[in-house]
Structure 1
Amino acid sequence: MLVFWNKKLVFLSVPKTGTTAIEAALAPFADIVVSNPPELKHAPLYRYNRFFRPMFERACNTTDLETMAVVREPISWLSSWYRYRQRDFMKGRPNSTHGISFDAFVQDYMRGDQPPHANVGRQSKFLEPRPNGLRVDHLFRYENQPRLLAFLEDRLGHPVQIERHNISPRADLDLSPETEARFRRKFQSEFELYESVS
């Protein structure tokens, strides 16, 4: 999470949406950089609403901070998690995807009792509007980098160059038509969220 105090902007880091690269590019200009622990670096909207927003409002007497985040096409998002958990350092860990096909990974993700390697959360839950009306003010597609960069450059007032970071290994990402169709039905809200963003 990054806070640009004078620009009245908070960047919420949705995992697997290029946040490491974005944070590397923008951290020098941020007033607050939350890079660890992961639970705070990747604080979802509900956690921001519960802990960070009240702090800003009560301690800093401000209510005009806007939030932004990036979302990724749902199958691509899962493939990024799958490939990340294929890295060598993950071997032997319960959440490793070594020895598991992408199709099996997606099937495990759809289970009610997800095994550790497929327990990666949901973008829609990360960004779910809160009962008090708080919602993410600015959403961008991971796949539409020009729109994201144009917004950041306009809002922050200087050029932004994002270089690739945290690149996962290539992997076989074959997905059977049956698994994909079931995933699209079961997680329709993920696709609706993505389609709602230009």
Structure 2
Amino acid sequence: MLIFWKPRLVMLAVPKTGTSAYARALGPLASMVVNDPPELKHAPVYRYNRFFRPMLEKVGGDDMELLAVIREPISWLGSWYRYRQRGFLEGRPTSTRGMSFDDFCQAYATGDRPPFANVGSQAKFVEPRPNGISVTHLFKYENQSGLIDFLETRLNTTIDLPRENVSPMRDTELTTETEAKLRRKCADDFAIWDSAL
């Protein structure tokens, strides 16, 4: 999470959407950079609302706007699948080694997800709160030029984006049946992605 005090902007770090690269590029401009622990670095709207918003409002930050980036849901799941193929996870319940992407997505689309498929939901991450706190600027990961233009204008800077935390390439083909199941079971994720800039 990056907090830009004077521009009144908070960039939430939705996992697997390139936020590590933005943190590297924009960290020096931020008033606050939350890198650890992961539960705070990747604080969704509800956690921002509970922990960060009250702190910022106490010092005059009651007009902060939230920015988030979301990724096409199947591509997002593909990134999680590839990330969890890495050697350091081998033998752990969160590893996807030895399974197909189709099997991973089938497990994700179940009601009781096993540890390797328990990666959350982008729709839940950006879900508005009952008190009105919500994401003001929602960008598609696939619209990097629009996101960069917005940030360069808002932060009055030029962005040179490095490649960070890139997962290894793997086959991420899905059967027609699995894709249909994902679109049905994860309809909120597809709807929020469709609504983003």
TM-score band w.r.t. shorter chain = over 0.9
Unmatched segments (≥5 aa) in structure 2? none
The answer for the alignment partner of 2:131 in structure 1 is 132
Aligned with 1:173: secondary structure? Answer: coil
Residues in 2 aligned to 1:62 and 1:122: alpha-carbon distance in whole angstroms: 28
The answer for the alignment partner of 2:79 in structure 1 is 80
Deviations 1:81-134 (A, max 9, x none): 000000111111110000111000000001111110000000000000000111
Unmatched segments (≥5 aa) in structure 1? none
Aligned with 1:10: secondary structure? Answer: strand
More divergent stretch after superposition (61-70 vs 31-40): 61-70
| Aligned residue pairs, count | 197
Aligned with 1:153: secondary structure? Answer: helix
Aligned with 1:79: secondary structure? Answer: helix
Aligned with 1:140: secondary structure? Answer: strand
The answer as to 2:116 corresponding to 1:117 is: yes
Letter in 1 for 2:100: S
CA shift at 1:28, angstroms? 0.9
Residues in 1 aligned to 2:113 and 2:157: alpha-carbon distance in whole angstroms: 43
The answer as to 2:6 corresponding to 1:6 is: yes
Residues in 1 aligned to 2:37 and 2:129: alpha-carbon distance in whole angstroms: 23
Deviations 1:59-88 (A, max 9, x none): x13311111010000000000000000011
Residues in 1 aligned to 2:83 and 2:61: alpha-carbon distance in whole angstroms: 38
CA shift at 1:145, angstroms? 0.4
Residues in 1 aligned to 2:118 and 2:187: alpha-carbon distance in whole angstroms: 18
The answer as to 2:190 corresponding to 1:180 is: no
The answer for the alignment partner of 1:57 in structure 2 is 57
CA shift at 1:41, angstroms? 0.2
Letter in 1 for 2:61: T
**Does the CA contact (< 8 Å) of 2:2 and 2:34 recur in 1?**
yes
**Does the CA contact (< 8 Å) of 2:138 and 2:196 recur in 1?**
yes
Residues in 1 aligned to 2:143 and 2:151: alpha-carbon distance in whole angstroms: 13
Give me the CA root mean square deviation: 0.7
Residues in 1 aligned to 2:165 and 2:116: alpha-carbon distance in whole angstroms: 19
Residues in 2 aligned to 1:64 and 1:160: alpha-carbon distance in whole angstroms: 25
Letter in 2 for 1:146: S
* Overall identity of the aligned pairs, in %: 59
The answer as to 2:33 corresponding to 1:33 is: yes
**Does the CA contact (< 8 Å) of 2:21 and 2:162 recur in 1?**
yes
CA shift at 1:180, angstroms? 0.3
CA shift at 1:161, angstroms? 1.4
Runs of 4+ in 1 over 2 A off after TM superposition: none
Deviations 1:129-156 (A, max 9, x none): 0001111000111001000000000000
Residues in 2 aligned to 1:167 and 1:10: alpha-carbon distance in whole angstroms: 24
**Does the CA contact (< 8 Å) of 2:82 and 2:168 recur in 1?**
yes
The answer for the alignment partner of 1:71 in structure 2 is 70
Aligned with 2:68: secondary structure? Answer: strand
Letter in 2 for 1:197: A
Letter in 2 for 1:7: P
